Structure 1
């Protein structure tokens, strides 16, 4: 099964059994570790735009490098990153398309942006995907984070708390948008 955006092929949906974030934070420690392990290699650069120390802890534990920044800053360093992690919405001063254009300019080819949204708003993921596509990023995967993993032989009762949209700068440039 995949997440469908009109006019695009479906993207895979994956369930990650990880704890919910604490109030005021973007993710749990387990979510930070999963993102870093699944989307980077040792010594890759990670840009941390998330609230809370969880991603920074994961970066240190997995021997990655990071830049910790406020999302409003104009640039995130001279070196291109493999992964940019952010909560949503980012801020009120930058349009979503401008934000994703900065992300795209800061990524290596094949790099990803992980956008973490509290589960429940059916419009926000669509708005994120549309803005990202307008900035030249492709929608790669949808991760559903739930407190309890599904159990074999039982009806799935997921306690979903976070939607993670994985966007990518494709390795091949197509002239206008990636994907």
Structure 2
């Protein structure tokens, strides 16, 4: 019996160590968390409203840290005239996002496998992100430098600190206990 318990503990610890190593090596320490369905619906609605305001034939919207591409596909379906670009550093998430979009026949998604610091965001009309609070500090300078005036920025859960003040804060009723607030900014 003790040998069985030791065996279970060994394999559990090994799994936890390998899981942590995976996130450190492939995700730069960032877990792959999907935005809740209720939040995705609100974000898509805000970008639809933005498309109407801009009255543009085509918008370019970035999803920083797109994971498996759930929200990129939601936006692409709702805004077929837009180009939705997901940025993802993790090879597994990146590959799954591309394959899922192809299988579903979604033509207006693009995926970039890079660190967001290395991607030029100057053509963005809109930007969505669900990043950890620690990354929000890092991205603030990039947004200030890269984004053009008027770009709509939506952040799930975490605020952009510094001089950035949200133009609107949405409290969303969702089943995900860690995702209740969305911050909307305009550069």
Q: TM-score range by the shorter chain?
A: 0.5 to 0.7
Partners of 1:89 and 1:60 in 2: how far apart?
A: 24
* Conserved? CA contact 1:76–1:106, under 8 Å: no
Structure-2 change in CA distance of 1:39 and 1:101 (3 Å): farther
Structure 1 equivalent of residue 35 of structure 2: 26
* Conserved? CA contact 1:32–1:58, under 8 Å: no
Q: Is residue 82 from structure 1 mapped to residue 119 from structure 2 by the alignment? A: no
Q: Is residue 162 from structure 1 mapped to residue 180 from structure 2 by the alignment? A: yes
Larger strand fraction of residues:
1
Q: Is residue 110 from structure 1 mapped to residue 150 from structure 2 by the alignment? A: yes
Give the secondary structure class of the aligned counterpart of 1:108: coil
Partners of 2:116 and 2:151 in 1: how far apart?
A: 20
TM-score (norm 1): 0.54
Cα offset, 1:104, TM superposition: 2.6
What is the correspondence of 1:7-46 to structure 2 with a 5 Å cutoff?
24-28=33-37, 29-40=40-51, 41=54, 42-46=57-61
Larger Rg: 2
Q: Is residue 140 from structure 1 mapped to residue 167 from structure 2 by the alignment? A: yes
* Conserved? CA contact 2:60–2:82, under 8 Å: yes
Q: CA RMSD in A?
A: 3.0
Structure 2: gaps of 5 or more residues? 1-31, 90-114
Partners of 2:167 and 2:156 in 1: how far apart?
A: 14
Structure 1: gaps of 5 or more residues? 1-22, 118-124, 149-158, 170-179
Structure-2 change in CA distance of 1:105 and 1:168 (3 Å): same
* Conserved? CA contact 2:174–2:180, under 8 Å: no
* Higher relative contact order (Cα pairs below 8 Å, separated by 6+ residues): 1
Larger helix fraction of residues:
2
Structure-2 change in CA distance of 1:168 and 1:84 (3 Å): same
- Number of aligned residue pairs: 121
* Conserved? CA contact 2:36–2:179, under 8 Å: no
